[in-house]
Amino acid sequence: MTSRAGDSAPANADRRAAVAAILASAVAAIAAGRAGDARAQSGTPAGAPRRSNLRPRSHALPEAVDLARDATIARNTRRPILLFFDRDDCPYCERALREHLVPMSRESPWREEVLFRQVEVDRARLIIDFDGGSNTHVGLARRYKASLTPTIVVVDANGQPIGDPIVGLLTADFYGAYIEDALRAAVKRLRE
């Protein structure tokens, strides 16, 4: 019969080897520029070919339709507007909506503090722009350089960005915190 210490030595060596392999992989990814860059996180390129037929959204924010009306509300109430850029077949967008944005848009304090709007980057749907002119969802995506989905841009009543965009589905565990930080900063800036 062998001792417990004797049995655990090979197991510990295996664990150490596995941890070393994981760390080596992470270091290689960072060195190659594939990790740590918020602009290169998981997402779907806006112009990518469709992977499948359109599927119905189970979770969605109010669609961007009349941004001039939204701008009036935002100006009068000193609220930012969160523009969520997505496309129909983006699994990262669906996850961001399901796990973060739709619940946030329905819960206090965000439902009272922020206007949430969804923009489909792959649709030429007509909208009324912030200045009252006409535009499309595709045109709005071009203006805000939303070339990867999901992208979140928080804007003021003039459609000017407040802070940096959140591009791609960043580390899923912290994605909600990134959004909340951006919204807190925008609310604070508009109310100073």
The 10s digit of each residue's pLDDT in 144-175 is 999 999 999 999 999 999 999 999 987 778 99
DSSP, collapsed to helix, strand or coil, labels residue 83 as: strand
Question: Whole-prediction pTM value?
Answer: 0.73
pLDDT higher than threshold 90 for residue 140: yes
Q: Are 186 and 143 members of one domain? A: yes
Distances from the Cα of 21 to the Cα of 10, 38, 84, 91, 189, angstroms = 17, 24, 37, 29, 45
Residue 24 sits in the same domain as residue 50:
no
Task: Give me the domain span that covers residue 29.
Answer: 4-35
Does one domain contain both 86 and 12? no
Residue 7 has a pLDDT of 54
Judge if the upstream peptide bond of residue 80 is cis by omega within 30 degrees of 0.
no
pLDDT tens digits, 63-110: 999 999 999 999 999 999 999 999 988 999 999 999 999 999 999 999
Task: Judge if 58 and 20 occupy the same domain.
Answer: no
CATH of the domain at 76: 3.40.30.10
How many structural domains does the chain have? 2
For residues 14 and 78, membership in a common domain is answered with no
Quick one: 70 and 163 in the same domain?
yes
Is the same domain home to 67 and 27? no
Four-point Cα dihedral 49, 51, 55, 57, nearest 10? -70
More confident residue, 13 or 166: 166
pLDDT (0 to 100) of residue 170: 73
Instruction: Give the chain's count of helices (H) and strands (E).
Output: 7, 8
Other CB atoms within 10 Å distance of the CB of residue 25: 11
- The structure tokens listed for 167 are 């591009």
DSSP 161: B
